Amino acid sequence: MAMQSPTERDAWSGKLGFVLAAAGSAIGLGNIWRFPYMAGEGGGGAFVFIYLVCVLTIGVPVLFAELSIGRATERNPIGAFKKLAPGSWWPALGALGVFTGFAILAFYAVIAGWTVGYFWMALTGTFGPDVDAAASGEIFTSFIGTAGPAVGLTGFFLIVTALVVRRGISGGIERAAKILMPVLLGVLFLLLIRALTLPGAGAGLEYLLRPDLSEVTPTVVVLALGQALFSMSLGMGAMITYGSYFPKKDSLPFAGTAVALADMGIALLAGLVIFPALFSAGLDPSGGPGLVFVVLPTVFAQMPFGGFFATLFFASLAIAALTSTISLMEVVVAYLVDDREWPRKKAATMVAIGCFVLAVPSALSQGANPYLSTFLGETWLDIQNIIWGNYGLSIGAILICLFVGFRWGTDKMLDFVELGGNPLPGRGLFGFMVKFVCPLAIGVVLAFIIVTGQYF
């Protein structure tokens, strides 16, 4: 093994390490918790169909735009724009990305903490056969509304995340992804077999996979595009950062496509687990954000070996969340390491502490503190999602496209995507999408959420 000089930057050991880590970033609560309830609110198949269209036409071009910026500069988002557009305002876009990552981590970790609590409750038999919808709702409300566990588990999740991030790219993030991603896939497949063999599972499949295009409304399109951005970790430079550790010789067209397909595949897989189970139990799919926390335990309660499958399910949710919180933290840490020359271990520790402080109000906003629970008519956590998840990511994604399209140039982007002699099929089309179609489409969605106040 070659010795690393102190100035040499850490990198993925190869393509596989990148694919698993970047897929780990993309695959998260967004796929297993958010995607199913969005699909339930957006009419099932209609939402799924539009979501797939959004991933392929908008998500994939933006993904390659971000990855190429990272690959060209080998920097975090702020350092990347400093390198490509020195003396301009563009580094502020990098700063928006880094801060968005920090702020998303501060509410994402709260929900990730719930998954750990639910894993524990499932393991210790909280969801027995007598847990009906009302009881399950009460368990959820009282669990997320109790300050101790809500804050404690958020802190726990941030500590675990920092323990991985401080070990670096190949030795920490990649190693964790190489263990966690196969486990996640294995667990979801087990759950799939269980779900598909339940009586009446077919109705759930039909709901999810047969698009009724008369259900496609502007709201569905907005939800689907927003879901595509969030789920692919786009708009804040996570993929700039992960792309910055990509080996020069490996094929980025291959690796990027694999990440997009994995993200889409796991969302569908989660849907194929959840909807057959819901329909088999005769439950309503439009349960909103409580779907997997409130509705699923009642499904598990009625199922043979339900406690076992519930434990597996919430473990998979926690694993998926962890590989995503790692990427959110890495964006901030990469900035502190690259540009501020902080030691990585110190950076990870400080980011975890800072993030925890910012996360406490979100953790307390689900009932524990009445003021934070009804702040401006929403919970503090929901407001964070609106500001950073909706506005932060969509503004970030639009500006990244405009930067590539009009400042850096789509030819440069595509050269760095193809670096190492790996052609990107449909090269010209990608340039056109990044320059015109993506910013316009995301801009329309942004205008829609501003005007209607309906968020994704």
Binding site for ligand PHE (CB under 6 A): 25-26, 28-31, 104, 230-231, 233, 236, 238, 324, 327-328
Q: Which residues of 233-263 are buried (b: 16+ CB within 10 A; e: fewer)?
A: bbbbbbbbbbbbbbbeebbbbebbbbbbebb
Smaller CB distance to ligand PHE: residue 264 or 419? 264
Cα gap 355→358, rounded to integer Å: 5
SS3 state at 209: helix
Tokens of 300: 């598990």
* Closer residue to ligand PHE in complex, CB, 126/231: 231
Transcribe 362-421 into DSSP letters: HHHTTTTSHHHHTBTTB-HHHHHIIIIIIIIHHHHHHHHHHIIIIII-HHHHHHHHHTTT
Q: How far is the CB of 329 from ligand PHE (least distance, A)?
A: 10
Complex with ligand PHE: residue 25 or 362, whichever CB lies closer: 25
Of the pair 105, 301, the CB lying nearest ligand PHE is at 105
290 or 409, CB closer to ligand PHE?
A: 290
- Choice between 232 and 294, CB closer to ligand PHE: 232
241, 77 Cβ separation under 8 angstroms = yes
Which residues, including other chains, have CB under 8 Å from residue 167's CB and lie 6 or more apart?
Answer: 173, 175
Min. distance of Cβ 230 from ligand PHE in angstroms? 5
Separation between Cα atoms, residue 169 and residue 87, nearest integer Å: 30
Radius of gyration of the chain (CA): 21
How many residues are given for the chain?
A: 456
CB of 68 to ligand PHE, least distance (A): 18
In the complex, minimum distance from the CB of residue 256 to ligand PHE, in angstroms, rounded to a whole number: 15
The distance of closest approach from Cβ of residue 328 to ligand PHE in the complex, given in angstroms and rounded to an integer, is 5
Q: Which is nearer to ligand PHE, 291 or 301 (CB)?
A: 291
| Shortest distance (Å) from residue 361 CB to ligand PHE | 20
Tell me if 38 sits within 8 A of 56, measured CB to CB.
no
* CB 164 to ligand PHE: min, Å: 14
For residue 290, what are its two tokens?
């409580």
User: What is the distance between the alpha carbons of residues 167 and 116, in angstroms, rounded to a whole number?
Assistant: 23
Closest approach of ligand PHE to the CB of residue 66, in Å: 11
Token pair listed for 9: 């930057």
* Structure token pair of residue 61: 């071009």
Least distance to ligand PHE, CB of residue 24, Å: 9
- Please identify, using beta-carbon distances, which residue of 51 and 230 lies nearer to ligand PHE: 230
Distance CA 89, CA 343 (A): 27
By C-beta, is 229 or 363 nearer to ligand PHE? 229
